[in-house]
Structure 1
């Protein structure tokens, strides 16, 4: 059982005392057990709440419950007791899977996929929470069952959004044709969803090109600021427009917590159909939402000052983000354990079982659209983890600690120009090892910035104006992290430390 009111200082203390050197120190999670999809992300009563699929009993995906952490500032986190548990004989007796938390008339309410048995269809289950989201009443109420539409063969992962003052929901689905789909619902009463039919499928040419899958899992739809990279950093609200971003986890048959297609997104417009009054999403472009093979099942929360289109049921966003252009959207993703990919050394299931824990959530990420493409950056609050600066404008091979941030830029004040084929590498290197394990390798162009975070076994790389790369790697005894910089590039390096 998780301990209530586990403060940030205790997270740091327990993480530092954890027997596994691969355990992260700056991505709060329970000390033991399996976690996967972030769920129920919300900002209610001045706190950010992040739930996640959780098995406190072992490092395997089984009898999934919802774990829960919260923070007022995205830096100092508290762990709360398990929020939702499978109920014997209930619609979620096999697991409380992916879903959302919304404020329904002042009552925090979870809407999630309840599953009765292995291989069974999911239903949308509703649970009501206390004002602080710590206590939950699970009465097994089902708000939506499997549609009777014979084309729909699988359905999961409800997501709620607002448009033109009305509340809607969608779920990811698979069709008998082998295509992925979204199902649309009207939700005047949160306890009784009205199915409106198949909303979008991967037969759409834009979706087919950018988000191919057999089932679209964990669908998201949010409104984010859009503009040009030529605009001033402070943002010109008169010159910028909003874009609708739809994001999916791209499931293929045979996936078992190893998702080769990863996560994709579509960027487009949302308009009201004059005939039906229902929203219509028209995708215009898209792409990958993360370039790493260890990223899946992200969830986005819409943070909004005011009640414009796209505003959630939750109250206004935190003052820490109030200076940024509206609307704001924060994303968390799941980085799994695994056997290693792309030449990286991984962990076997026996090693995972012995460690007793599995799964990490990423840093919170701020979304925008720049020049028609998705841009992902760490939330500004993450800067608070910067401690002692270890290097300034370092060049060549730069050693990083097991908990570090490096900002790589074009080197200033030196005679060397950045080569057209310049590449930055992050490797695990042992003394006398002629073939280090390359964990990340990416090009660097003039004017670009890379922010590299290392937290034990989790690596996050953020490229300015683009999406992130999420990777897992496990240093062996005697190995150290080395950032290899091309001529013409330099890095500022900080030790990651918990703020006072």
Structure 2
């Protein structure tokens, strides 16, 4: 994609691919087929607001060079998705790529599970408004959304996020022998569980994900991840995203039971929400949504008027790779991102120094506080600060207005910041820490004519 190179807004990312204009939020339909990764996402091409949501589409062969594809799904007048095609997944249904998503047709109404079919290249979609699951006839369920499919012991199941009349958040379970007609099995797991109440506090669990993760101990470990929605949320989600690690077992009648053992946050930043996981044979990948930071006294951001003037909102994070080490979730940037490294500007740098607006920084060693700040005319504002000790290793990516900080062996931090006129980035390292800094650059595309 070359939309970023000449974009008029200096806050527009150059290396996190997205359309030049419009609103984006949740990544959806993550797929890998015929050597190509596909990332769909909620998308309004007409304005920088969450309205008339479609599914946008990006694809890549290498997770580095991305192509913008035609819009995949659009609201269908008179259909179950007339007011929006919301979050969901893409699956293979008898050899036919199929989107399984939340369709909305009433303001403030419940979503239903809607299906759409695609060609083998996932570029041409047919929407007939087929509803695979209605809102469950369960008086305890007050909200439902965001289907996710998984397999257990050779059978296909689905989850949906939910809110309950009791005030608890939950996931609902479905048996899916026929993708066109789901069987509701009931409330599967909720925040009544003590570990869930601690690590996944919410009124609704949005975008639930359940996949088996590589575990260095050899255990069969599953992660249940959910985005933590509160009634006071608009498009700002202070509770973020939580996860539980645990096991799946048969309840004796063929249905899975999840038993959590530990948990935590999937990302420590405030601008991270609604991630989706892609389980591949050799690894599990994740993309998340980073929304625009709202302007406030304690956190400089953008007003709605500024967002409207810019004409775009929302960024998808870089792809991340998940595993379990020592009973905790470890999240790293995918190795492919090294292809963005251009000139190495600093090697073994110490103290305080400037870094470019598009950069990768690797920090090792040291004891004390590391700070990433914006500086202009003697004024400083801290964007990120954390304590490093001993063998800690951090990788920091700067791309215009998004900052991703990865700490080896644990979870990252995603932040948004908008450098003003004359502001430059500075990194302040504690005693004993050293940093390498690379300028980011777009790798050349291979010459397919050869």
- Scaled by the length of structure 1, the TM-score of the pair is 0.88
> Which of residues 50, 54, 63 is equivalent to 1:65?
54
Equivalent of residue 262 in structure 1, options 220, 240, 252: 240
CA contact (8 A) 1:67 1:81 kept: yes
Q: Following TM superposition, by how much is the alpha carbon of 1:92 offset from its aligned partner in structure 2, in angstroms?
A: 0.3
Q: What is the aligned counterpart of 2:370 among 417, 421, 424?
A: 424
- Confirm whether residue 296 of structure 1 aligns to residue 285 of structure 2: no
Shift in Å at residue 338 of structure 1?
2.4
**Structure 1 stretches of 5 or more lacking a match?**
1-10, 228-238, 305-325, 411-417
Residue number in structure 2 paired with 1:250: 228
Contact 1:115/1:121, CA 8 A, preserved across alignment:
yes
Deviation (angstroms), 1:461: 0.1
Kindly report which structure 2 residues correspond to 1:322-341, keeping only aligned pairs within 5 A, or say none: 326=282, 328-340=283-295
Q: Which residue of 2 aligns with 1:166?
A: 155
Deviation at 1:340, TM superposition (A): 4.3
State the shift of 1:171 in Å: 0.2
Decide whether aligned partners of structure 1 residues 137 and 146 sit closer, same or farther in structure 2, where only a CA change above 3 A counts: same
Paired residues, number: 444
Question: How far apart, CA to CA, are the structure 2 residues paired with 1:345 and 1:121?
Answer: 35
- 2:89 is aligned to 100
Cα distance in 1 between the residues matched to 2:220 and 2:384:
33
CA contact (8 A) 1:269 1:283 kept: yes
Query: 1:399, CA displacement in angstroms?
Result: 1.1
Q: Which residue of 2 aligns with 1:77?
A: 66
CA distance in structure 1 between the partners assigned to 2:207 and 2:166 by the alignment? 20
Query: Are 1:358 and 2:347 counterparts?
Result: no
- 1:242 and 1:79 map into 2 onto residues whose CA distance is 37
Q: Partner of 1:480 in structure 2?
A: 424
Match of 2:71, SS?
strand
Q: Which runs of 5+ in 2 are unaligned?
A: 445-450
Deviation at 1:341, TM superposition (A): 6.4
1:51 aligns with 2:40: yes
- Structure 1 residue 46: Cα displacement: 1.5
Deviation at 1:240, TM superposition (A): 2.7
Structure 2 counterparts to residues 40-439 of structure 1, below 5 A: 40-227=29-216, 240-274=218-252, 276-304=253-281, 326=282, 328-340=283-295, 343-410=298-365, 418-419=366-367, 422-433=368-379, 436-439=380-383
Q: Report the Cα distance in structure 1 between the residues aligned to 2:297 and 2:337, rounded to whole angstroms.
A: 28
Verify the 8 A CA contact 1:344 1:438 in the aligned structure 2.
no
In 1: Cα distance, 2:137 partner to 2:285 partner: 35
**CA deviations over 1:380-427 (Å, ceiling 9, x no partner):** 1111101110000100112111100000001xxxxxxx33xx111111
1:456-471 map, 5 Å: 456-471=400-415
Q: Cα RMSD between the aligned structures?
A: 1.0
Report SS of the residue matched to 2:336. helix
Question: Which residue number corresponds to residue 442 of structure 1?
Answer: 386
Spell out structure 1 runs of 4+ moving beyond 6 A: none
Partner SS, residue 206 of structure 1: helix
**Residue in structure 2 matching 1:490, options 434, 437, 443:** 434
Cα distance, 1:77 vs. partner?
0.7
1:209 alignment partner, SS class? helix
What secondary structure is seen at the aligned counterpart in 2 of 1:423?
strand
For residues 339 and 95 of structure 2, the distance between their equivalents in structure 1, rounded to whole angstroms, comes to 32
Give the drift of 1:78: 0.7
Residue 431 of structure 1 and its aligned partner are, at CA, apart by 2.9
Residues 245, 267 of structure 1: 8 Å contact kept: yes
Deviations 1:409-468 (A, max 9, x none): 01xxxxxxx33xx111111111322xx111111111110101000000000000011101
> Does the residue aligned with 1:121 lie in a helix, a strand or coil?
coil
| 1:273 shift after superposition | 1.3
Cα distance in 1 for partners of 2:125, 2:325 equals 40
Structure 1 residues 226, 342: CA separation in 2 closer, same or farther (over 3 Å shift)? farther
* Conserved? CA contact 1:344–1:437, under 8 Å: no
Distance 1:482 1:286 in 2: 34
- Is residue 293–residue 341 contact of structure 1 (8 Å, CA) maintained in 2? no
After superposition, give the CA deviation of every residue in 1:356-380 in whole Å (9 maximum; x if it has no partner): 0000000000001111111100011
Question: CA offsets per residue over residues 316-370 of structure 1, 9 Å max, x none?
Answer: xxxxxxxxxx4x2100000001224693310000000000000000000000111
CA distance in 2, matches of 1:492, 1:298: 29
Aligned equivalents of 2:377, 2:218: Cα separation in 1: 51
CA contact (8 A) 1:125 1:144 kept: yes
